[in-house]
Structure formats: structure tokens, C-alpha cells
Homo-oligomer: A and B are copies of this chain.
Amino acid sequence: MYHKIEQADLSALEAIAPGRVFAGGQISEDYGHDELGGVAHMPEVLVRVDGTDEVSAVLRYANANRIPVVVRGSGTGLVGASVAVHGGIMLETTGMNRILELDEENLTVTVQPGVLLMELAEYVQERGFFYPPDPGEKSATIGGNISTNAGGMRAVKYGVTRDYVRGLTVVLPTGEIVELGGKIVKNSSGYSLKDLIVGSEGTLGVITQAVLKLLPLPSHSVSLLVPFDSMEAALEVVPCIVRAKVSPTAIEYMSRETILFSESYLGKKFPDTHASAYILLTFDGNAAAQVDGELEAVAELCLEHGAQDAYIVDTDERKKSVWDARGAFLEAIKASTTEMDECDVVVPRSKVAQFIRYTYQVAESVGLRIPSFGHAGDGNLHVYLCRDSLEKEEFQRRLQQAFALMYARAGECGGLVSGEHGIGWAKREYLAQQCGAVQMELMRGIKHVFDPNHILNPDKICCS
């Protein structure tokens, strides 16, 4: 169905991006998979693109010649969205990594898609500004974050990536360039194509520039680590905190087991590991008294609800130690097993305890080790299914069983398949089951409007 790359195609691409076209053995096998590796396939040609016009020229060529194109940032995805399942061209955006403008009057920063989240966070922080989205994976690109509507730790108070995307420059699969939104706060000017691109995992267009909203950097930030006797006790306090009308920046849940993996992976001690479950909270703001007041109120509430203690994490060193551990959970669990897959469901935050309890039952009934951690404050859980010493086929069989149970339960709780990692290749069947035929048909219709020849990241999200 798709055209296979020939020498003439390589020459044409070389004319568009001189010196930045690689084929065959010149391409590292890293480009054949993402972070979890559930699907693997090499692109036929890798193009390190350098700007909007170049992306446009490549897409125009690919569209005319029916060559599939996949965009890749840092490759930190977990659902195969950036894997070239049909071969073809891979556009690598990590060379487009300039921060183009900080506009202090409009509180925006304009970036290329290959800027890494950690680079952006540091750049704006040094200048007294704050880019709130804070996914655990700091080496992801901003383009990737936008493409999955990444959430992260601070969604409880500050929302998700979508809430910070003011404007996008997008190259459509036909090579046309469109400017969506801008440095504007409000917009009621037709269908929000910008919001359709956010979270579309590189299937509707290629993001080549983004205008992001910033906030002034809060002057105070304190964390609180609270140990509990059990997962249930830890998670049941979260709705009480919400009811108490305080607004923590983050509320993370972690089990001792996960913390121990992280200690061993990082080779660094976590401040406390004697309890079986913890919640870790952050509070921020510009008035120290208010931030401290919120922290104290929550600490008291936790103690009333069975917390063993409440440790204030206020020095930079201690903050770094706990948040570094939290940031390493995925890698740490990965290092604890031979292979794993994940489930990134989001449920109403009042259902988190119930859902985690259910994963324990699934682990038991299916016979898999299923560690998890989660953004307790926003209902987004990261549940890992570990192969350990199982045979590959047996693991696959149990995996499918466990996924089917867990996604069905998420739906029953009023939740959805993915909170922040996306659908990509790996979760298509679960999305289809949950959304039903009518919504999937709308999505396929939209895909066809943007990409009539289905050359851009084919067979992802809603197509197969």
C-alpha cells in the first residue's frame, strides 16, 4: 500500500535536508522502538529536520509519493506512538531545539518542538517564570509533551499541557503550514484546531513551533511526606484534603515497594521507608505564611486520618531527594523486571483507592506482579505489569487478561484509557472498546480530513 524508499527518494530528501538524511545501517536501532518497546520497527530513512519549511518539504514529498512519515522527539513514549510501524520516513525533531522568545509582557515563551522539558523548565525558572506541567520524564521534548497532552505531578493545582498551549505552528500531512491560536488568552474563532492537535500523537500534523503560557514563579514551595499503615489509609485521606478546600500543587501516592526499587535504582536513600504507604504533597505560593498554613492544615488532617507522622520536606537537598526518587519510579520498576507493560488509566480522584485495590485482585487472579504508583490528586495511575521469570507467550497471555480487566474497571469507574501517556499503537483496542463505534468513527473521519492519504503516523490511535 505504501511506497518503499528507493535511491531516488533518498536523493530527493537529501536535497531538502542536506547532510541530515540517514538510511539503512546508518540508523541506530534506538530509532526502532520507544521507551517500553512493546512494538518495534525500523524506519527506512531518518531525517533530522531543521525547521518548519523543511518539515513542509518532506511532508509534501511523502504525501505525493505515499510514503509513511513518523515524527520522533526523544523517544520517551510508552505506547509506540513514535515507532515507524510501516517503515518509511522518520522525522527527528531534536535538532529543532531553540527557545525562540520569552515575552514578559504576554507571559509566553516560544519554542521549537525539540526543546526538552527540563531545558525549558530551567530556562524560565532562571528568569523568574514558571512552566507548570511536570511529567516525571524530564528528558521528553515539548513537542512530545504537547502530542500526548502530558500531565505530570502538578495537574492537581495547575492543569495539564493543553492548558499551557496558546499557539502552534503545524505542518499538515499535505505540507501546508498553519498557525493556530497565538499569544492570546481567549479564543472563540471557529473550531479549535489547536486543541485537536494537542494530544493527537503526531497523527494529524507536525508541530514545528509552540507558544506556551507561563506563570510568575511562586516564591515558596514546601513538600510534605506522610507515611501510612496501608494503601487504603493513604489514599482515603486524599478526598478529605480536597473536601477541606486546600489546593496542594501535587498529591502523589507511593508504596514502600516502589520506593525501595527507586532507592536501589538510584543508589540513593529515601528519607523514610519504614511505612508501607506514603503520600507526598507539595504546596506553593507567594506568601510563606499561607503556604505553611495549608501544609499544617493538611498535616493535621492526615494525622487525624491515621497517618503515622508528617515530615516537612523544606530544604533543597531533601526536596531533591524525594522528588528525584519519584521521578525515577518508572525506570526503577523497569529495572526490577525482565520486561513490562503499563496501564495509565485516569479515574475520578475519589476512585483511586478502589482502583488500586482492584489491581491487587487482578495481580492475584491473573498471576502477575503489578506494582503501581500514581498521581493520587488527579486520579491518574501508573500501573506496571511485570514479566519477571514468565515465558514470553505466557506473559503476553496474562497481560491481555489483566489489561482487559483493568480497562473495563476503569470505564466502570467513569475513567478513561489514558491520562497522559496516550493511545499510540499499544492501546488502540482499549480506546475503541471504551469510546464505542460512534466516537471512533468521528476520530477516523477527522484523521481523514487532515490526512487524506494516511501518510502521517498511520495506524495509530483510531486507525488500524
A155 at the interface (CB under 8 A from B): yes
Which residues 156-200 of A have a CB within 8 angstroms of B?
156, 159-160, 162-163, 172, 176, 178, 180-193, 195-196, 198-200
Q: Taking the complex as formed, is A106 at the interface, i.e. its CB lies under 8 A from any CB of chain B?
A: yes
Question: In the bound complex, what is the Cα–Cα distance between A55 and B435 (angstroms)?
Answer: 21
CB of B182 within 8 A of CB of A414, answer: yes
SS of A interface (majority): loop
The answer to whether A400 has its CB under 8 Å from any CB of chain B is no
From B185, B190, B246, B349, A423 is in contact (CB under 8 Å) with B190
Interface size class on chain A is 35 or more
Indicate if the CB atoms of B461 and A183 lie closer than 8 Å. Answer: no
A439: contacting residue among B156, B178, B183, B419, CB under 8 A: B178
Known: A216-B245, A247-B215, A380-B185. A350 touches B191 (CB 8 A): no
Tell me whether A187 and B346 are in contact (CB under 8 A): yes
Which B residues touch A378, using CB under 8 A? 185-186
When distances are taken between beta carbons in the complex, the residues of chain B under 8 Å from A215 are 247
Cβ-defined contact, B380 with A186, below 8 A: yes
Give the contact stretch, choosing among A40-48, A82-90, A258-266, A440-448: A440-448
- Do A200 and B189 touch (CB < 8 A)? no
Task: Tell me whether A192 and B198 are in contact (CB under 8 A).
Answer: yes
Q: Is the CB of A434 closer than 8 A to any CB of chain B?
A: yes
Distance (Å) between the CB of A433 and the closest chain B CB?
11
Give the distance in Å from the alpha carbon of A162 to the alpha carbon of B163 in the complex: 9
Taking the complex as formed, is A132 at the interface, i.e. its CB lies under 8 A from any CB of chain B? Answer: no
Complex Cα gap A399–B439 (Å)? 42
Kindly report which residue of chain B lies nearest to residue A245, judged by CB atoms.
B216
Task: Please measure, in the bound complex, the distance between the C-alpha atom of A334 and the C-alpha atom of B385, giving whole angstroms.
Answer: 64
Give 1 or 0 for each of A23-55: 1 = CB within 8 Å of chain B CB: 000000000000000000000000000000000
Say whether B199 contacts A422, CB under 8 Å. Answer: no
- Report the minimal beta-carbon distance from A430 to chain B, rounded to whole angstroms: 9
Q: Enumerate A193-239 residues with CB–CB distance to B below 8 Å.
A: 193, 195-196, 198-200, 204, 215-217, 239
Tell whether A107 is near chain B: CB-to-CB under 8 Å. Answer: yes
Residues of the B chain whose Cβ atoms lie less than 8 Å from the Cβ of A181: 416
A420 is an interface residue with CB less than 8 A from chain B? yes
Residues of chain B within 8 A (CB-CB) of A178 are 436, 438-439, 442
For A185, list chain B residues within 8 Å (CB). 151, 155-156, 159-160, 346, 349, 378-380, 419
A287 within 8 A of B: yes
Q: Which residues of B contact A450 (CB under 8 A)?
A: 442, 445
In the assembled complex, A140 has its CB within 8 A of some CB on chain B: no
- Is the Cβ of B290 less than 8 Å from the Cβ of A184? no
A63 at the interface (CB under 8 A from B): no
Find out whether the CB atom of B155 lies under 8 angstroms from the CB atom of A193: no
Q: Is the CB of A443 within 8 A of B190?
A: yes
Q: Are B128 and A245 touching (Cβ within 8 A)?
A: yes
Q: Do the beta carbons of A199 and B193 come within 8 Å of each other?
A: no
Contacts A104-B242, A195-B195, A196-B195 known; A431 to B190 CB distance under 8 Å? yes
- Give chain A interface residues in 51-80, CB to chain B under 8 Å: none
Residue of B nearest to A194 (CB): B195
3 residue pairs, one from A and one from B, having the closest CB atoms: A445-B449, A216-B245, A195-B195
> 13 extra interchain contacts, Cβ-Cβ under 8 A, other than A160-B185, A185-B349, A188-B423?
A104-B243, A149-B187, A155-B186, A180-B439, A181-B416, A182-B415, A184-B347, A186-B346, A189-B423, A190-B423, A193-B442, A216-B246, A287-B293
A-B contact pairs, 22 of them (CB 8 A): A106-B349, A148-B188, A149-B186, A149-B187, A149-B188, A160-B186, A162-B195, A178-B442, A184-B416, A185-B349, A185-B419, A188-B199, A188-B344, A188-B419, A188-B422, A190-B199, A190-B462, A216-B247, A287-B290, A445-B450, A446-B446, A449-B449
